[in-house]
Amino acid sequence: MTRILRAIASVLDPRTYLHGLRVLHFYGYSYVSQVRKLDRGDNVSFAPNVSFRNAERIHLGSGTHIGEHSTLWAGNSSGQIFVGEKALLAPRVTLTASNYAIVRGTAPMDQEKLEQDIVIGARTWLGANVVVLAGVTVGDDAIVAAGAVVTKDVPANAIAGGVPARVLGWRPDALPAKTVDSLTSRTEP
């Protein structure tokens, strides 16, 4: 009986509905009001829970897709984010073109922000939970493994991973047509 009364009390508690309004306000700020400020090419898609900050400094190339719960945070005054055509960002990717200084004796939030552009090349793939920090360029056709923290540039065609991310290998050349044919042909039994 006590559990039922507590459930009824929580449904009748106005704080429950006020919290719902706060959540709606957050999504209105981080998504709805920001999406119209984006510079984006044709056929760009992103999940409805992607969070954008300072979207007037975010540029998305045609055909780009951004996965669920990702965050693209451009700088407050100068740091921009450029994402090339056909880039694929998996769920929970974070790009932040703004960082705090780390001078000893002063809380980071009280220090000057360090803003630098992020460039994500064309046809790249950033795996789930990748973090890319301010000032980094990920070259065209690069792949960054899930969970990596990218603190330095990643060259074109590289496969990078780890914390901090480093080059682990290189994307192979296209398979010869003969190999592709053998992989795709099927014979009936």
Alpha helix locations (H) across 13-131?
14-27, 33-35
- Does residue 144 lie within any of the structural domains? yes
- Does residue 121 lie within any of the structural domains? yes
Segment-wise mean pLDDT, segments of 10 residues, the chain, 189 residues = 80 72 62 86 94 95 97 95 98 96 91 94 98 98 98 97 97 69 51
- Does residue 1 lie within any of the structural domains? no
Whole-Å CA distances, 59 to 64, 72, 85, 181: 10, 10, 10, 38
Q: Which of 140, 120, 115 is nearest to 131 (CA)?
A: 120
Say which CATH number the domain at 69 has: 2.160.10.10
d(CA 141, CA 129): 19
- Does residue 99 lie within any of the structural domains? yes
- Does residue 78 lie within any of the structural domains? yes
| pLDDT at residue number 188 | 47
- Does residue 158 lie within any of the structural domains? yes
Residue 107 CA, distance from chain mean position: 27
- Does residue 111 lie within any of the structural domains? yes
Predicted TM-score (pTM) above 0.85: no
- Does residue 32 lie within any of the structural domains? no
Query: How many domains is the chain built from?
Result: 1
55-104 tens-digit pLDDT = 999 999 999 999 999 999 999 999 999 999 999 999 999 999 999 888 99
What are the φ and ψ backbone dihedral angles of 106, each rounded to 5 degrees? -125, 130
**What's the domain range around 111?**
37-183
Q: Which of 176, 100, 178, 163 is nearest to 132 (CA)?
A: 163
